[in-house]
Amino acid sequence: MIKCTWERFKKWLAVHHPSLLDDLQPPASSLELQALTQRLGVALPGEFMACLEVHNGQAGRAAYLFDRHAFLSIAHILMHWKTWNVLLEDGDFDDRVAHGATGVQPVWWDPSWIPFATNGGGDYLCIDMRPAAGGTPGQVIEVLHDTPDRRLLAPTFDDWFGRFVDGKLHSH
């Protein structure tokens, strides 16, 4: 499913945003994918891994692929995830109160939130691998660095990516 969605999206990008198409990195290797899951300590959803097997994020020489968010490579996923976890461990969020949507933990940051896109200003789209009651492991959430609301965007990465691409294809 993800590979078909990517093919539709890449055809659209070739016509409407060739610079974004050129900015996509080659596929992640099986070793890179294995290192990602080992470092995170969690098995990521198959559809997200399949996404990285098509393109390992953006190179960063063009506009953001996902509207207001850049698609992170494995190296950048790990870098941003580690930064948030260091802040958590150092107590930077101890006095912050967050509000989770139904199915989303009401915390400022959780180590089982895996960032896959950023706006470059501290805000992220994450795969939530430890949802609250009513949530689904692998759901897509939005984490804003300065806002307490943790929003649920989609029940799965496949659903989020499919809706994003469909929105692009039907907007032109």
Other CB atoms within a 10 A radius of the CB of residue 95 amount to: 7
**Per-residue model confidence (pLDDT) at position 8:** 96
**Per-residue model confidence (pLDDT) at position 172:** 61
∠172-49-134 over CA atoms, to 5°?
85
CA distance 141 to 126: 5
Beta-strand pair 99-100/124-128: unpaired
Rounded (10°) angle between helices 46-54 and 2-16: 40
**Per-residue model confidence (pLDDT) at position 171:** 77
All structural domains of the chain with their residue ranges: 2-171
Other CB atoms within a 10 A radius of the CB of residue 85 amount to: 14
pTM above 0.85, yes or no: yes
Q: Is 64 exposed, middle or buried (0-12, 13-18, 19+ CB in 10 A)?
A: middle
Q: What is the overall mean pLDDT for the chain?
A: 96
Place of tokens 């139904």: 102
Encode pLDDT of 97-148 as tens digits: 999 999 999 999 999 999 999 999 999 999 999 999 999 999 999 999 999 9
Q: What does CATH list as the number for 2-171?
A: 3.40.1580.10
Flag whether pLDDT at 34 surpasses 90: yes
